[in-house]
Amino acid sequence: MSASRVNETKWDTAKNLVNHFLEASSTENYYFDLSAKWIESISSPDMIAEICGHNDMMNAFQYHKYMRQAATQYKKVPTNITVKYDVIESGKQSLKVYVMFEHTDKNGIPVTMHYAVILNATFIRGFDDSIFSITHITQGGSCLEHGLVTYHTSQPEDVERFLEEHPDGKLFLNLFAPRVFEYSEDTKFIGREVNHLPAAWLLGIENDAEIGVCHEGETNLVDYTPEQFRSWYQRFGQMWHGKDGDDEVITMQGLDVKDGTLHARVTMRLQIGTNLLADIHEWHFKMTAKLNAEKAWKITKINVLCPSTIKNLMDLNFLAYRDVFGATFNLYLKDREQWYPATDFAKHFKKYGETVEFSNCFKEVTNEDDLSKKFWVDDRFWQATIIGYFNTYQLTTPADEDTHIILRIKMRPPTQTPVPGDIFGSDWKFYIKWDKMDQFYYFYKAEFSCPQYMKPGDGSFRIFTRYRGIVRYC
């Protein structure tokens, strides 16, 4: 191919690239989905992306997920938009394109978006038989959704000055400080809290607040009422927590401030479940807060963006669920000999207002409030001390929306086990169903088998201890 033909091909590809990045910048654009798929189709499997100065690079899957999430936050691109782009001189086998344009998010904040894209010649063909494949993207600009915010209409000192002039603004920001649960005997069995995420800010949500939460497979955020959002956040806090020792679990960046309105992004760096070595994922909450007539801050808008590092949220919840279930029971276990009142822990995994089916020793328990009483009666015959539980099988994905978990509870019997290696125990089987709005597994049926001598199984063992908070394991 001649040099002039190569140059022509590069500019044609660059123009295509610019048009598709424009269309993919907002879900309101008519060709959004087509353009997003075009970018995905010409991305190398080994592509990496650097976004807004963030320390962690994204792979192709993560960037495409991030791109679609970010697009939910922006208005439709106007027909008279001004775009600047250039093809940077490079070798015959590579193409370097720089793109910059102005945009407006759905809060009316003007932003700058720019991309430095490197493509290499490839045998892989995209939608339009492009001979180039994207291998590297460096994205910058105002960065309202990820990484370091670059102020556009407001400068950092403007936000600081606004907060100095409105002291309540700092109180608003302090609502997101991580909470430490204070344990006492008086509170142990009353409204037990099972997470350490801040919750005071929920009280500041307006009754008519606009709220959207990301859902897997949905192009746009799903609308929530404040009541639905509080329910979602409660369950979110059951499964997610900050990593021990991380002093930046929750951070806030001001995005814009004008006329008593503050736009901010709260970032929560969280792990799921009880595994100390679990990956950290960044959850971004974009919020709008306004000063009302009483000079109180009220949250009028919330958008929750899914971390691009999560492939499937339901699968991730399912893999962590069983040990969260067991650890929550441990929170309630005041006395390992008189353990039956601790079965009240299950209320944290039951959907409010719904009836749960229980059976103990193959006998139906019609009133869930009678469950601990039934165990108390039976234990007079068992005389068992509860020790811990076995995970007798490995959880696998993809998870089903309607499935179950089993805890093989180990008890210390009043006499020695007849066969060396056997345990005296009971299988606790919980049938669970995924709730799409709460993004949480609720149990709707539980079966507690009669204690008997049994094999422990090949899985891991979790010992119940005195209360120390949510127990986490390596």
pLDDT tens-place string over residues 346-401 = 788 989 888 888 887 766 765 555 555 555 445 444 556 778 888 888 899 999 99
**Alpha-carbon distance 191 to 293, whole Å?**
34
The reply to whether CATH 3.10.450.50 applies to domain 314-463 is yes
Q: What element of type H or E holds 94?
A: strand 94-104
The CA dihedral of 256, 257, 261, 262, to the nearest 10 degrees, is: 60
Which amino acid belongs to residue 325?
Answer: F
| Fold exhibited by the domain 156-309 | Nuclear Transport Factor 2; Chain: A, (3.10.450)
Q: Give the up-direction half-sphere exposure of residue 246: CA atoms within 13 A in the CB hemisphere.
A: 19
**Alpha-carbon distance 257 to 162, whole Å?**
8
What pLDDT score was predicted for residue 279? 95
Task: Report yes or no: 7 and 14 within 8 Å, Cβ to Cβ.
Answer: no
What is the DSSP code string of 161-204? HHHHH-THHHHHHHTTSPP-PPP-TTTTTSS-----S--GGGGG
Residues of the chain with CATH 3.10.450.50: 3-141, 156-309, 314-463
Q: Is the peptide bond before 226 cis (omega within 30 degrees of 0)?
A: no
Q: CB count, 10 Å around CB of 402? A: 11
The answer to whether the predicted template modeling score (pTM) of the entire model surpasses 0.95 is no
Distances (CA, A) of 64 to 49, 58, 106, 467: 10, 9, 21, 43
Report mean pLDDT in 10-residue bins for the chain, 474 residues. Answer: 78 92 96 95 93 90 94 93 90 91 91 92 65 92 77 49 54 50 32 66 91 93 96 93 84 78 89 91 92 81 94 96 87 61 75 83 62 51 70 91 92 72 84 97 89 78 61 45
Q: What element of type H or E holds 331?
A: helix 313-332
The SS3 assignment for 423 reads strand
What pLDDT score was predicted for residue 329? 80
Q: What element of type H or E holds 64?
A: helix 60-71
**Alpha-carbon distance 259 to 198, whole Å?**
27
**Alpha-carbon distance 317 to 432, whole Å?**
12
The SS3 assignment for 356 reads coil
Which amino acid belongs to residue 401?
Answer: E
The C-alpha angle with vertex 236 and arms to 443 and 200, in degrees rounded to 5, equals 125
What pLDDT score was predicted for residue 54? 86
The reply to whether CATH 3.10.450.50 applies to domain 3-141 is yes
What pLDDT score was predicted for residue 254? 77
